[in-house]
Every structure is written in structure tokens, then in C-alpha cells.
Structure 1
Amino acid sequence: MKKNILLLFVIVLFAVSNGVFAAISPAGGEYGIVIEGYDWGPAVSKVILSLDEPATTVNTDDYKVMVQRSDDCASIPAGQVLGSRTVIAGYVSDAEGTRLEEGDYATLVLAVAPNQPIGSPIQYSQAEGCRGNSWINYDMTIRDEANGKVWNQEVNRIMPIIDRFDLSGKFSDGKGINMSYASYVPEEADGKSPLIIWLHGGGEGGTDPSIPLIANRAANYASDEIQAIFDGAFVLVPQTPTRWMDSGEGSTSGQVDDIYFEAVKELVDYYISMHPNVDTDRIYVGGCSNGGYLTFKLLIEYPNFFAAAFPSALAYRGAYFTDAQVNRVKNIPIWFIHSEDDGTTVPDQTVLPVYNRLKEAGAPNVHLTYYDHVVDITGFFGGEGYHYPGHWSWIYSHANEARRDYDGSLVKLDGRPVSIMEWMAGQSK
């Protein structure tokens, strides 16, 4: 009880000191937000304010933006509950945030960074009932200091790229396994298009497939850049209600079967039956960590089905990779991504023995991009000097940045250096 009273006092004190009462203030103006995916996860990057009358300019110095993050289940660290957002630019726009010479809306561009969790509309939690990443309440109060107007009613959310996906997918296999899934259908093209399957990590399980798309930028496989490489590709993102490494009696890393691999294969078959324009000679599967495990499990169980694979932060243990399995998968094109300082899927126990066994068996088209650290690839936050957790090597997959093999040489396709997505687009059964 004392803890709750103290928290309430801190919230009220913070609100008073900043001139807003986000939780209890009377209804103000309406706003929309833009949520974008970044290498480290999602952030609210813009807020779009409905104006009382048309405008031609926006003075960003006039606006103060406050945030309150809350959830009934997820535990949010005290320092990440309340805070202010920095406005770095502003312009007149329409309701979707498109710039106009004159318009009825003002769009404020907000600073985002990997070390600013106050910008995130999701929260990772270990709490029972909401374990992993989940959406939280993201309440904003925006005040125009020039005239005292306040906006505190969210009426619209825009999520670029994610909005391209159908998030309504539901699938049940013959054994009663239920899964949600997100899917993207490319613009109509001549002939058939390949299928990219992405299997999320352990923190993205549940029943809301927007989480696997946004929590670590997997939606980028539907981006214009990557779609252009494949000349259009279907994207299928299944979601487990628990975790892919769930054996039914605990976790597996290859020593026993998980309970999902057959259901995922059934889902893929079903999806192909519903989309006859999928090129079944160009089906690609990848995933990170937990999803890296399942990627490899699917290769072992269905070696003639996939044209190529791209697992990152592989969670399949080399100790359980048998000689028979080596022979089953050695001829499948595979590009692994891993970081040497990964303390979760330790490379000496996972990717290195798996990769080495495949190479020793004569695998003709297997690659490993092996980083010292997972770094800021944008250069905005310190470049090579800024280190993300070593487990986050999927950043390089989603951004299509991996280019080098284990020995440091450039991976080539038909004699030309290629990125991981360019390489994959060139693989066919």
C-alpha cells in the first residue's frame, strides 16, 4: 500500500512540475502517432496534432511533449514510466503526416534512440501472463506553450511497413496447435513470386502478430528495398503462443522434438495453397534465436522443401547435430549470422560447431557472417563504438547488411559480391 501511494505521489509531482496531468487532465485536442521500427525496436517517431484552423508554419519551440507509459500486467521500470520527448522538427501536414504547404494538422518529429526507452510503445516483461514483448498504454500530452492548447486524445496510429501486412491470420493444425500469423502479398507481378518465412525470437510469442514484426524490425522484409531485390516476395510470419523451442515438457535445443515444427510446416503448406502464385522452388526460411532453432529444425525435417535459409543467433546446439542430420542439410544453401559476444546462444555451443560440421562434410553453399560485436550500423549513436547486446545479430539480417563469410572474404554470387538478401534471391531448388 505504501509503495502504491509513493508511486502515485511521484506521478503527480512529475505532472505538476511539468505543467501537465496526463492521466487526469480534462479532454483536450486529438492527435495521431507514427510508430516505426528501428534496429533496437519500435519507437513513436512522430505525433500528428489536429489544429483548430489551417496553418502554413509550425514553430517547434512552442511545443512540449510528455509521455506516460503504463500497463496492467507488464512491469515497467520506474525510470521509464514518465518522461518528456524532444521535438527535433515540425511541419504542416495532413492527418497521415504527409507534408503540405497549408493544412489542418501539425506533425512533430520526435528524437528516437536505443537508450531512450521512453519512446517505446512496447515493453519486455517477465511477468506471468504477459511474458515477452507486448504493447502498453502510451499516453501523450502535448502542450502549445504559445496559446495553452493541449492535445491528449489519441485517435490514430500509423505504422509504416507493418500497415502493409495482414495481421488477421489464424491457423490450427490437425493436433490442436493454434497459431497467429502476419502475411504480406507483393504487388501483382508477371509469373510467380518467392516466399520469405520469418520465425521470431523467444520474446515475441503470443497472439498478436504485430509484435514479431515490430519488436526487432522483421517487417523490413516487406520494405521497398528488400522487395525490389526479389522483384516482389510473399512474406509469412508465424507466431507461436509460447516459444518455438517448447518441447511440451520444457525447452529443447535439438535433443528432443519441439511441439511446433510440424504445425509450422502445415501452416506454410496451407498458405501456399491459398496463394498459388508462390514459387515453390524459391521458399526461404529464417529466424532469430528461438526462431533460428526452428529454422534449422525445419531444414533437418524437410530438407527438400526450402531453397535457402538465413538463421541468426542460432539456438540449435551443435552437440545434438548428428551425422545423419549433417548429410540431410549439407546441400541446402544456408547463411548464418552470429556475434562472437553472444552470451545467450553461445557460438561455441551453437553456430560454430554446426557450421564447421557442415563445411567438413563438403557443404558447397554455406556461409557464416561472424561479428565481434553487434554495433550501430546507422552511425548515429557511435557506429562501431556503440555495442548492442551480442545476442542481437538479427539486426544485420533485417537491415540486409551481412556481406562477409567466416574468413572475412566477401560472399559472391556468379562472381559478384552480394548482400545476404541478394544471395538468397539467387537461390532456387
Structure 2
Amino acid sequence: MKKIISKHGKIIMSVIMAVTMISAPHVGAFAADDNKTQEPSYRTTTEVFDWGPAITKIIVDLGETIPQSAITKDTFEVHVLRTENRANSPILGEAEGNCKIKNAYVSDDIGSIQSKGNYITFDLEVGPDVSLTSPINYNLTTNLNGWVNCDFTIKQKNDIVTDSGKISGLVINKFAGGTKKLVDDFKIGSATYDNVTLKYSSYKPENDYSKKPLIIWLHGIGEGGTDGLLPISGNKAVNFASKDMQAYFNGAYILAPQAPTFWMDGFTGFGDGSSKYEKALMSLIKDYVSKNSNIDTNRIYIGGDSNGGYMTMLMIRDYTDYFAAAFPTCEALKDTLITDKDIEAFKKVPIWFTAAKTDTTVPPADYVVPTYNRLVQAGDTNVHFSFFDNVIDTTGLYKKADGTPYEYMGHWSWIYVYNNQCSAIINGKVTTLMEWLSDQQLNKETKSQTGMKPITVSQTITVSQN
């Protein structure tokens, strides 16, 4: 079961992902203009995409005003050097090179285009196979991600003509900080229970003094460790805080705990049906709820991918009456470890499974398919399953050489969850995962869904690819 490499097995196949946050030392910058009183510097903008995070923008503070017409994509080059902080962690993908500049323009300090100003923004090429813009690296030995140092050097190639003269020869490598979209809206915390310390990320919705649900998300294998940012930025879990997703719940709290190693570390082995972090996790959840009085305790939802899907299954098995619903994705609790008694416990919790037929890391035939079938056969009427043929890009931005949509590793079915692209016909109505989730409450009678039947691995329950 150590082959459960969450999203990160794809790195080997398609050259690395990307995550947010650059925290590296940067040396000074030098300009040819002797009259300058302020040393030019740069800032970064990071966003989290379906494949992971990427540095999308470099924003340079020139320290003097220039017109929009003075800048083109060829005025500067943007060079990056990516280095590891961890021993024995070779960089996967490119470690150094010039980033492709998609666009360059005069802007304000947050990258919005202006007719004239003191800042230049460079929009960089990003994508599932672009490694130069990735500020994390996956360690193939530990199966954990870690931040890398990303040192940018912006060199001027062509002169900039302004009303006050000419600027030439700029070399800018002074780092002045960065922003991380959505990620910056989270707070990082740490708590210890019975000598187990868990880091976590948390998000609070705008306080309108009404009760709000809590969404708990449990990360995959690569996001374990002691950096609370990884659970939300190793892949697109941060999207639960987006306006679109929050709108389904009229605002929701988000809690993303982090296992020091793997949720699947059991008492007798890896993925043995137990977790040495389970009690500490439940203590953290209850502690967080007690400290946030606006959380509606009748609407606490739990989900997770792969290693986190495994832990989701354990939590609803052992704390059946606490969670209003669960949404495990490519879950890694083997069906042979689930007893008939466990099935009866699962029946008490509304569940929406997600997986893809091309998942070779957690083969559906050994995990989710037989478990789903057993629930259906046991009479569960509020269990749903989005079973995709494969995992593809649905944005239209990334394609294969033949023009068909870019295909991700089959284990990455969480992409459909983060984008709310899972849907099913429930009681005659097409319902998305988030619509369904937002409607679940403890002690609420739900209308029975009829006509549910067991499936085979060759069948597809739901396909929501655009």
C-alpha cells in the first residue's frame, strides 16, 4: 500500500507539480540608472490549479514611473533557480531555466494593468507539465512534498524609454514577498493531544451571526508533515474557500488537519484499518468546533482523498453520530478490511464516493466498488458514487498532442470534487456533490432514493466532463 502516492505519482510521469509559497533568501538588484534612490525588487503571485500550485506572476517594483508602451514581452527575461532544503531530495523536473513570459505590462502593485505606473507584471506560463514555476518538490523516498527555494533573476534585454530618460541594464533579484491566492485567507495552527501534534489550516467565513457548516478535508499522502499550508495547497483543496464553493453553504468553515506522516499509519501496519492519529484528529475537530460557536454542529462534513479518504472512512466508522455526511475520494480503505458491522455503521452516514476507472494506485475493484455495492445491497438509500472513466482537464486549456483533453493520472479523481463536477440524479433531479452536501444534516430525514443497483468496475455511474 505504500504505492499510494496521492497526486504525486504523476510527477514521475509528467514532470512535477506546483505549490504555493516561496520563502527563499534573495540577493540585491542593480540598475544602470545612477539617479535611482530605490533598489528595484520583485514579488510573486501563486495560484493553486487542478494539477497543483504554480507561480503565475512576477511583479517588479521599478521605483519610477514608466508608460505602458515602453514594455513588451521581450523587454526582460525571467530566470529561476529551484533548490531543495531537504537532503537527498533531487529536484524533479527542471531545476533552472528561463520561464516563458506569456504577457508583460505596466501595472499596479497587485498586477492590475495600468496606463503608466511603477510596476511591471510578467504573466508566466504554467501548466501540468511546467516545472519551472513549481515551488514544491516531491521526495520519491519519503513520499512527501516540501517547499523549494525559488530564486528569480529578472534581466533587462531592451531599453525602456521614459519622459525622463532611458532605463537599461536592470538586473533584479531582490525578493520583496509574495501573495498566494485563497491560501492567504487561511490561518495556520497547531495542537497537541496525547503527545501527538497536528498542524492544520483553517478558514472562517464572513461572520453574519448565523450558524455555518464545517467542512473537514483530509489530505493525501504527499501533504503530510509539519507545514500546515500543504493540506490546502498541495492540490486544489484551497478551492473550498472560493466564492463559488462557499455560495452553496452560505459560507462554511474549513478545517484541513495535517498528519505528521500519513493518516494510514496504523498500529500494526500501513493501511491496516486503523490510524495512530485518529484520536488526536477527533480531539482537534472537537476542540476547533468548541472554539468557534458559529459552527452548526448538525452540519459537520468530512472528506478526503486517497490517504485522506482512508481516514474519512475510519472517522465515520468510529464516530458515526458526529458527522452529517462524508465525501471520500479515491478512498484507500480496502474493502476486505470492512466488516458487515462496519457497513451498518456507514449506512447511518450519508456518503458520496468519487473515483476513476483508470486509478491504478487504489484500484476501485479492491476498494470503493465492492464497498459501495455492499452498502446498496444493505439497503442504504443515501449513498452516491461518481465513477469516472478517467481524469481529464475540463478547462479546455491543456490538451494532448492530438488535440484531445490533457489526461491526468487516474488516481487524481479529487480534481472533480474540488471543481464540484460530480453529479447524480437524485430523486429525479440532477444534483451536484456540493448541492447534496449542503443539504445534509444530522437527524434530518431524507427522502429515499429508489432504483439503486450494484455496479461493476466496467460501468460508469456519473461523468461530468465538459
TM-score (norm 2): 0.81
SS of the counterpart of 1:270?
A: helix
In the alignment, the residues of structure 1 paired with residue 92 and residue 347 of structure 2 have an alpha-carbon distance, to the nearest angstrom, of: 50
Q: Say which is worse superposed, 341-350 or 383-392, in terms of deviation.
A: 383-392
User: Which of 287, 295, 308 is the matching residue for 2:312?
Assistant: 295
- The answer to whether structure 1 residue 368 and structure 2 residue 385 are counterparts is yes
Aligned to 2:138: 124
In the alignment, the residues of structure 1 paired with residue 311 and residue 92 of structure 2 have an alpha-carbon distance, to the nearest angstrom, of: 36
Aligned to 1:6: none
CA drift at 1:241: 0.6
Give unmatched runs, 5+ long, in structure 2: 1-24, 31-39, 159-167, 443-466
Alignment of 1:185-224 (within 5 A): 185-224=204-243
CA contact (8 A) 2:91 2:137 kept: no
Aligned to 1:42: 53
* Identical-residue share of aligned pairs (%): 39
SS of the counterpart of 2:285?
A: helix
CA contact (8 A) 1:193 1:279 kept: yes
Q: Say which is worse superposed, 76-85 or 225-234, in terms of deviation.
A: 76-85
CA contact (8 A) 2:82 2:132 kept: yes
TM-score (norm 1): 0.88
Aligned to 2:414: 394
SS of the counterpart of 2:55?
A: strand
CA drift at 1:212: 1.3
Aligned to 2:248: 229
User: Which of 167, 171, 177 is the matching residue for 1:150?
Assistant: 171
In the alignment, the residues of structure 2 paired with residue 92 and residue 140 of structure 1 have an alpha-carbon distance, to the nearest angstrom, of: 19
Deviations 1:48-89 (A, max 9, x none): 001131123132221211111111326234751112211112
Alignment of 1:410-425 (within 5 A): 410-412=424-426, 415-425=428-438
Aligned to 2:44: 33
CA drift at 1:152: 0.9
In the alignment, the residues of structure 2 paired with residue 24 and residue 157 of structure 1 have an alpha-carbon distance, to the nearest angstrom, of: 13
CA contact (8 A) 1:27 1:153 kept: yes
Aligned to 1:92: 106
In the alignment, the residues of structure 2 paired with residue 53 and residue 27 of structure 1 have an alpha-carbon distance, to the nearest angstrom, of: 15
CA contact (8 A) 1:331 1:365 kept: no
More helix by share: 1
CA contact (8 A) 1:36 1:45 kept: yes
CA contact (8 A) 1:253 1:293 kept: no
CA drift at 1:115: 0.8
- The answer to whether structure 1 residue 265 and structure 2 residue 282 are counterparts is yes
Relative distance call for 1:177 and 1:60 in structure 2 (3 A) is: same
Aligned to 2:153: 141
SS of the counterpart of 1:143?
A: strand
2:199 alignment partner AA = S
CA contact (8 A) 1:341 1:373 kept: yes
CA drift at 1:91: 2.6
SS of the counterpart of 2:151?
A: strand
Relative distance call for 1:80 and 1:240 in structure 2 (3 A) is: same
Deviations 1:135-165 (A, max 9, x none): 1001111112112211112111100100000
1:133 alignment partner AA = N
2:76 alignment partner AA = Y
- The answer to whether structure 1 residue 239 and structure 2 residue 258 are counterparts is yes
Relative distance call for 1:253 and 1:54 in structure 2 (3 A) is: farther
In the alignment, the residues of structure 2 paired with residue 252 and residue 332 of structure 1 have an alpha-carbon distance, to the nearest angstrom, of: 22
User: Which of 340, 343, 360 is the matching residue for 1:323?
Assistant: 340
- The answer to whether structure 1 residue 305 and structure 2 residue 322 are counterparts is yes
